[in-house]
Amino acid sequence: MPISRAISLILALLLAAGGCSRRRSGGRGGDDDDDDDDDRQADGGGEGEGEGEGEGEGEGEGEGERGYCTKTCGVAADCCNGVAGCPGDEYPLNWSCDAGFCRNGGCSNDDECTFGGVIEGFECHPWQGQRFCMPVCSGQPDCDEVSPDSSCEGEADDGQRFCATFCQVDDDCDGGGTCDRATGLCGCDDGADCTEPDTDCQPR
């Protein structure tokens, strides 16, 4: 299966959660690319979806982490956009409605990221406390197949590098928040930042 098709399949359910999902899976690894911090937006290969600052990045007097734009819901089915078998027990169909916000249960193993071995290059890793399917990489050539705009700068909580893109301007967030150019991540301070329909700002 072509990797572009694989990404589409994996992200189909993530995008159902709203703008936040497109921008949740990111976080730059290493310090050698600091000069480029303004040029890219976090986009999980997979799952995912990352927005807002990474854990521990809040600074200043009383300033904490930004929230992220999430699809609102009344029941879990509201998070599925009509996808067959959703909500279900296994990733990526394992959506729930938690306090009015859609929440995906995350992956539990690499097999869930490869559709039983049909595709390659995706693994299950933690990022900001949740596990996502990510297009892992060891260098830029691995990301060239994923997207011309991605780079091997994403870093999971366990240190695994993955292909990610980063925002430069608010429009890069596609209604899923505003761009923090210092980190290249989309996030929100309140609901007004979330302009995609049926989404709101969920605090971290």
Taking the C-alpha atoms of residue 93 and residue 157, their distance in angstroms, rounded to an integer, is: 23
| Per-block mean pLDDT, blocks of 10 residues, the chain (204 long) | 41 38 44 41 40 40 75 97 94 95 95 86 92 95 91 95 95 96 94 96 92
Q: In the chain, count of helices (H) and strands (E)?
A: 3, 10
Q: Would you call 201 exposed, middle or buried from its count of C-beta atoms within 10 A (0-12, 13-18, 19+)?
A: buried
Q: What is the pLDDT of residue 78?
A: 97
Taking the C-alpha atoms of residue 8 and residue 191, their distance in angstroms, rounded to an integer, is: 28
Taking the C-alpha atoms of residue 93 and residue 126, their distance in angstroms, rounded to an integer, is: 18
Helix (H, G, I), strand (E, B) or coil at 195: coil
CA distances (Å), origin 64, targets 28, 34, 53, 57: 19, 22, 9, 8
**Strand partners for 202:** 68
